[in-house]
Amino acid sequence: MDSFRDTYGPVALVTGASSGIGTAFARSLAARHLDLVLAARRVERLVQLAAELSAVHGVRADVCELDLAQPEAPQQLLDATAGRDVGLLVSNAGFSMKGEHSANDPQAMAEMLMVNCHAPMQLTQGFIPRLRERGKGGIILTGSVEGLIGCPYSTAYSATKALVKALGEGLWAELQPEGIDVLTLCPGATDTEAGAKSGIDMSKIANVMQSEDVAELAIENIRNGPTFISSEHYRMLFDGLLAMPRREALTTMAEGMRRSTAAAEA
Ligand SMILES: NC(=O)c1ccc[n+]([C@@H]2O[C@H](COP(=O)([O-])OP(=O)(O)OC[C@H]3O[C@@H](n4cnc5c(N)ncnc54)[C@H](OP(=O)(O)O)[C@@H]3O)[C@@H](O)[C@H]2O)c1
């Protein structure tokens, strides 16, 4: 446990720590005795989580209230952590949007680009010099299996996660020789608030993972980059899809989505 702290501590920054996979990351890292900086908009949740982590694990946990849809937010986070020895960046905040691309709200789509893409790009760029100086540490980016292939009826979200995957892969190769680990976590369906926020009833979906397991597996596999699919079911599913001719894979996915939408509406 403490060797993990030696490499990736003493401080980890987790974005999107107010719920779901981010909260689970914070708990798993606190259990490994890392101090934390927790970032999100819902500050009352962060304060509650910080108190829990301090009480249970005796770690220091600071909170940073910010809206990552704002272009200056990543720089604010870099400034807020300037005096801290951050050895691990967990860029996890994100949200999705399901349905026909033409029906998406343009403003929400612009915000999704900021949160899902702009934030990890700026945060990684800002933290790399600090990690380099330490000569050790890591970056975990929460992508999605939807970043592995264009996903019909989740097209814009899927495109944002494709950027995360490309960012993580490139950085993995750049930073590998310097002893800095980069992992792009690609979760499949995970039981968090995200389902309800994008109109999905998670109880009707098979092979859903718990956020605690997803975060723990990502941490355990931090050295196994560039990408890591946390769900065995989705690993097999996407292995199959990616082995198919692209047009066939995309058509099959689109037909499956149309069938499940029709079934849900019936
Ligand atoms: N759940 C899944 O099935 C699934 C599958 C694949 C990938 N993922 C990815 O996993 C990551 C975590 O999602 P989750 O499933 O844990 O969902 P979640 O429970 O809804 O958590 C999303 C987190 O992102 C933060 N966030 C969203 N918009 C933000 C903004 N504008 N500024 C700052 N923080 C913001 C939220 O905090 P506030 O609302 O408090 O700001 C929250 O802490 C996301 O990147 C998501 O795309 C999820």
Ligand 1: does its nearest atom lie under 6 Å from the Cβ of 193?
A: yes
Distances (CA, A) of 214 to 83, 143, 245: 30, 12, 30
Q: What distance in Å separates the CA atoms of residue 244 and residue 149, rounded to the nearest whole number?
A: 11
In 3D, which of 205, 174, 173 has the Cα closest to residue 190?
Answer: 205
Question: What is the structure's pLDDT at 127?
Answer: 98
Domain boundaries, the chain: 2-234
The edge-to-edge listing of strands for the beta sheet with 61-65 is 61-65, 35-40, 11-15, 86-91, 137-142, 180-186, 227-229
pLDDT value at residue 83: 92
Determine the pLDDT at residue 261: 78
CA of 244 to the centre of ligand 1 (A): 30
Tell how far the Cα of 157 is from the centroid of ligand 1, in angstroms. 12
pLDDT tens profile 67-119: 999 999 999 999 999 999 999 999 999 999 999 999 999 999 999 999 999 99
Please indicate whether residue 157 is annotated as part of the active site. yes
What is 2-234's CATH superfamily? NAD(P)-binding Rossmann-like Domain (3.40.50.720)
Which DSSP category does 34 fall into?
-
Task: Say if ligand 1 is within 6 A of residue 84 CB.
Answer: no
pLDDT reported for residue 136: 97
Low-confidence ranges of the chain (pLDDT < 70): 1-2, 264, 266
pLDDT at residue 64, rounded to an integer = 98
